[in-house]
Homo-oligomer: A and B are copies of this chain.
């Protein structure tokens, strides 16, 4: 789903529109490839990988709302993905003493081991898929996107 209207027209907003379309097509292309490999090699999905990646960074655990905010997806969405990870034994919900509305979500021992393996492959894939971008260019691109991001956060 990456069309963008009238990319060949000219006008004031032309360059930004074109940038948006490229951005979207690039990320969709890579995402599709990653999804296929995760499925084929590890029988998992991109959303599950993303949740595990977030939890791997926080051994102490994360609240559902932390996950949702960090991953830029809705609350209800995270519930379903975590449910499936729990049923696979990769993630656990731990009730907290203080606030009984919340629960700390964290990787299980098995989840942590499993993720480490997948993450190593994932990093290799990214290196391969973005191989045509030089490391230097990657840094410059990242810089531009980062400044966009921080400006964005300032406004919203």
Binds B, one of A21-29, A86-94, A97-105: A21-29
A interface size (C-beta, 8 A)? 66
CB neighbors of B among A3-61 (8 A)? 3-6, 11-13, 15-20, 22-32, 46-47, 49-51, 53-54, 56-57
Q: Which residue of B lies closest to A123 (CB)?
A: B13
Residue contact B20 to A23, C-beta cutoff 8 Å: no
Question: Within the assembled complex, what's the spacing in Å between the Cα atoms of A31 and B53?
Answer: 22
* Minimum C-beta distance from A149 to chain B (A): 6
Question: Within the assembled complex, what's the spacing in Å between the Cα atoms of A2 and B30?
Answer: 13
| Copies held by the complex | 2
Contacting residues, chain B, for A127 (C-beta < 8 A) = 12-13, 16-17
Point out residues on A near B: beta carbons under 8 Å. 1-6, 11-13, 15-20, 22-32, 46-47, 49-51, 53-54, 56-57, 70-73, 115, 119, 122-124, 126-127, 129-133, 135, 137-142, 144-149, 151-152
Q: List 23 A-B contacts (CB under 8 A).
A: A1-B50, A2-B72, A3-B51, A3-B71, A4-B50, A6-B53, A11-B123, A15-B135, A17-B126, A17-B127, A19-B133, A19-B138, A20-B30, A20-B130, A22-B141, A22-B146, A23-B30, A23-B145, A24-B27, A27-B27, A29-B152, A32-B72, A132-B148
- List the 10 closest pairs (A to B, CB-CB), nearest first: A132-B151, A13-B127, A22-B145, A3-B53, A3-B50, A5-B53, A15-B138, A5-B119, A16-B130, A19-B138
